[in-house]
Amino acid sequence: MIEQKLLLVDDQPANLVSLEAILEDQGRVLLKAESGQDALKILLKEDISLVLLDVQMPGMDGFEVAELMRQRNDTKTIPIIFVTAISKEKKYVFRGYQAGAVDYLFKPLDPLILKSKVNFFLELDRQRRDLQAKLKEAQAHRAAYEAEKRNRQNGG
């Protein structure tokens, strides 16, 4: 089984601890960042399956992190779930989706809803990775077949 990495981003350490307690599970690696800058550093180094991102953080807010993620080829397709206590106004929710969020959750979080949504996006990630592996395998078979075909045509 492939280990899936979740990036939890919140400037409040207590929130990271509670997210970790809810989401801890076999086959998951939970990486934590307390700022947007730390999150971006982790995203450059790690193969992340899902990001849970606090909206309101000092310095770089969650919207900025999401917008920067969407500009990079290696991070633009990583699903982002925004998590917020304050920004329930439609304009903020809309901005979150505009910045690239796939979902928006409001604190206090319902553990069952959070687990369900995270499980859903991790399953999609697992399916995507399986398809990529099968495509790679098919391409290798095709390349071997083409090489063998050329070899026969050249009298080998």
Res 69: pLDDT = 96
Task: Work out the mean pLDDT of the chain and round it to a whole number.
Answer: 91
pLDDT digits (tens, 9 = 90+) for 21-61: 999 998 899 999 999 999 999 999 999 999 999 998 999 99
Contact assessment for residue 4 and residue 50, using Cβ atoms and an 8 Å cutoff: yes
Res 88: pLDDT = 67
* Nearest CA-CA partner of 5 in 96, 22, 23, 74: 23
Q: Provide mean pLDDT across the span 92-111.
A: 87
Show the domains of the chain with their CATH numbers.
4-153 (3.40.50.2300)
Task: State how far the Cα of 4 lies from the Cα of 37, in Å rounded to an integer.
Answer: 22
Task: State how far the Cα of 132 lies from the Cα of 6, in Å rounded to an integer.
Answer: 20
Give just the sign of the alpha carbon dihedral 61, 88, 73, 12: positive
Task: State how far the Cα of 150 lies from the Cα of 134, in Å rounded to an integer.
Answer: 24
Q: Provide mean pLDDT across the span 60-65.
A: 94
